[in-house]
A and B are shown apart, each in its own frame.
Chain A
Amino acid sequence: MNKDVFKLGGHEFTSRFVLGSGKYSLDLIDAAIKHAKAQIITLALRRANSETDNILDYIPEGITLLPNTSGARTAEEAVRIAKLARACGCGNFVKVEIMRDSKYLLPDNTETIKATEILANDGFVVMPYMYPDLNVARDLANVGASCIMPLAAPIGSNKGLATRDFIKILIDEIDLPIIVDAGIGRPSQACEAMEMGCAAVMANTAIATAGNIPQMAEAFGKAIEAGRTAYLAGLGRVLDSGAAASSPLTGFLAD
């Protein structure tokens, strides 16, 4: 059997867990990464913009940094933040996050398409965070996105796959990796996203608000792995009516 590898932006990863770093103690980042066996970690550039206690100093070597553009309200601001991140040595991956709403932090899909095009043309590996909309996902793919990152539920809500049906449409129709981002609250929900065919899962608040952060990171890592294995194995059928008839209706056919 071929080794299951997650390819993104010319890199290969064996882990499909994109770990957030934004809401918990910097001292726990290293332990969370190790327990989760994560290889990609997101960070807000605005947090890496600190000289006193810089989050970058807490991330172990060999981990791929995924700076995000949080704080951007327009495509123009996102582009500026992305370029600043690259200039700060964060590499050429960027998660585009553009929010014009401070209450729910819902992404602005229109501005996200604009920023994705500019950044993709500038050599970035662009990972756009978006509200799951098929037309927008197609536009993002056409302008050079490396993957699509639909939200599962409002960010930080831990409500799980509230947009399940729309994410499934993206999985079925878009050729890029679909990485569920925002709203995943439990390992079982992350597992379900992977069973559906998502390429990876991103989680932050679910881990940051857990009683034991490294342990929860580990639980997510295992759940994502289990979900991926189940997807590759091919899920068994589910019968709506509860059982299969032992005497088929077509059993009378003779030739």
Chain B
Amino acid sequence: MEKRLNHMEYLPDMEQINPEIRNKVINAYKCYNQNKYTEKDVQNALKADVLAPHDFGSLLSPAALPFLEQIAKRAREKKRQFFGDNIYVFTPIYISNYCENYCVYCGFNCHNKIRRAKLDYDAIEKEMQAISKTGLEEILILTGESRNMSDVQYIGKACEIAKKYFKMVGIEVYPMNSNEYEYLHKCGVDYVTVFQETYNSDKYETLHLAGHKRIFPYRIEAQERALMGGMRGVAFAALLGLDDFRKDAFATGMHAYLLQRKYPHAEISISCPRLRPIINNDKINPKDVHERQLLQVMCAYRLFLPFANITISTRERAEFRDNVINICATKISAGVSTGIGGHTDEAEQGDDQFEIADTRNVDEVLQAICERGLQPVMNDYVYV
């Protein structure tokens, strides 16, 4: 049997930073007891102007579910206070799906026999041109997690190309050291997204069997290293349904909360993915996170971190997305393709990471935003 890496030990060349936040987040995960909260706790949380972690915990608990309508109304008030009618629109672009990790739930994992591809710089430029013609001004560049096939220089060059066409460039790639984030920042990137997937380190070990991603502490500290490297904002997410979603949501919120306290200037975003059908793997099915629970989590994030952006995934159906941007979400993707080279007329070079539920193009999403009396915003950012 293949010998697995110790998932709690850094590999050589992995930067080690002060573990204070990591330890606090892991402790928050372990201590969160969703069954201790009462109806009274939920009512108190709904009355609070500024929520403490205890209030956040109560809003995520089963006791809060019967109050979902009141919670949604309160979330809507807070969203309007902090963001008004603005809804930010962006799209992701996948430039490579090579991956060295073995994550049992993922369509891109190294053992899945899918078509692998990596866009060369000309192809990246064509994709960027095609996307920018839709009017979008914010882009999120994604790769599979392979340092060999998509090294930091390759990602940097892709970002420099993106900067020619977009005002705002973010990345969702493998975690790296702070000096590498600093390099990418100079290439025009200001936002870094890293999904922790689950904050349960034991469960994490069983789901991430090989590759750098297996190293739990290096991943959980990625956002802090990104801020140390000069990035303006960082995004967090647990893949809800991998483990107990309430505990993972609590840890995600606490992770963002603690990091913002240490780095007050940091702009915080949270994504809310659930597991969706994936290629060659139907072993895991997120039966426990239904739309009702997902909305509960999103509203709890909104009330605990009212200043944070919340992104709603294309994994969700159009009607759900259109409704949550009127309640708690502030950011929506449009015209999404999760394959490699999916934005030009040329044939897609690589398979998709996951199936999307909302296939609307940019114009259709913009129209849906306006129909709800909201204001689509393509850019609210300047690189300085």
A77 to B136, CA, bound (A): 25
Q: Does B27 contact A (CB under 8 A)?
A: no
Within 8 A of A (CB), among B260-290: 260, 264-268
Q: Does A219 contact B (CB under 8 A)?
A: no
A81 to B381, CA, bound (A): 11
Chain A interface residue count, CB cutoff 8 Å, equals: 33
Within 8 A of B (CB), among A82-125: 84, 99-103, 105
Interfacial chain B residues near A105, Cβ < 8 Å: 307
Q: Does B351 contact A (CB under 8 A)?
A: no
Taking a contact as CB atoms under 8 Å apart, the answer to whether A80 and B384 are in contact is yes
Q: Does A180 contact B (CB under 8 A)?
A: no
Taking a contact as CB atoms under 8 Å apart, the answer to whether B135 and A52 are in contact is yes
Taking a contact as CB atoms under 8 Å apart, the answer to whether A100 and B379 are in contact is no
Q: Which of A26, A47, A84, A101 contacts B379 (CB 8 A)?
A: A47
Q: Which of A49, A53, A84, A102 contacts B266 (CB 8 A)?
A: A102
Q: Which of B85, B135, B379 contacts A25 (CB 8 A)?
A: B85
A124 to B374, CA, bound (A): 34
Taking a contact as CB atoms under 8 Å apart, the answer to whether A156 and B82 are in contact is yes
Taking a contact as CB atoms under 8 Å apart, the answer to whether B264 and A101 are in contact is yes
Q: Which of B82, B83, B167, B267 contacts A50 (CB 8 A)?
A: B167
Q: Which of A26, A47, A52 contacts B380 (CB 8 A)?
A: A47
Taking a contact as CB atoms under 8 Å apart, the answer to whether B81 and A157 are in contact is yes
Taking a contact as CB atoms under 8 Å apart, the answer to whether A73 and B378 are in contact is no
Count of A-B contacts with CB under 8 A? 81
Q: Which of A51, A157, A209 contacts B84 (CB 8 A)?
A: A209
Interfacial chain A residues near B135, Cβ < 8 Å: 52-53
Taking a contact as CB atoms under 8 Å apart, the answer to whether B378 and A71 are in contact is no
Taking a contact as CB atoms under 8 Å apart, the answer to whether B265 and A73 are in contact is yes
A57 to B8, CA, bound (A): 54
Interfacial chain B residues near A24, Cβ < 8 Å: 84-85, 375
Q: Does B80 contact A (CB under 8 A)?
A: yes
Closest chain B residue, CB of each to CB of A45? B382
A100 to B83, CA, bound (A): 18
Interfacial chain B residues near A44, Cβ < 8 Å: 380
Q: Which of A23, A50, A81, A102 contacts B85 (CB 8 A)?
A: A23
Q: Which of B260, B264, B374, B376 contacts A53 (CB 8 A)?
A: B376
A238 to B268, CA, bound (A): 48
Q: Which of B80, B84, B268, B382 contacts A46 (CB 8 A)?
A: B382
Shortest C-beta distance, B81 to chain A (Å), equals 5
Which among B260, B307, B380, B384 has the highest number of chain A CB atoms within 10 Å? Answer: B384
Taking a contact as CB atoms under 8 Å apart, the answer to whether A81 and B384 are in contact is yes
Taking a contact as CB atoms under 8 Å apart, the answer to whether A47 and B265 are in contact is no
Interfacial chain B residues near A71, Cβ < 8 Å: 381-382, 384
Interfacial chain B residues near A72, Cβ < 8 Å: 384
Taking a contact as CB atoms under 8 Å apart, the answer to whether B265 and A49 are in contact is no
Shortest C-beta distance, A167 to chain B (Å), equals 22
Within 8 A of A (CB), among B48-82: 80-82
Q: Which of B81, B136, B307 contacts A102 (CB 8 A)?
A: B307
Q: Which of A26, A50, A73, A158 contacts B81 (CB 8 A)?
A: A158
Q: Does A205 contact B (CB under 8 A)?
A: yes
Say yes or no: A102-B384 contact (C-beta < 8 A), given A50-B167, A51-B137: no
**9 intermolecular pairs with C-beta atoms under 8 Å apart:** A26-B375, A46-B381, A49-B379, A49-B381, A53-B376, A71-B382, A99-B265, A100-B264, A102-B266
Using A24-B84, A49-B379, A205-B84 as known contacts, list a sample of 6 further A-B pairs with CB atoms less than 8 Å apart, ordered by residue number in A.
Answer: A22-B84, A46-B382, A50-B377, A50-B379, A102-B267, A156-B81
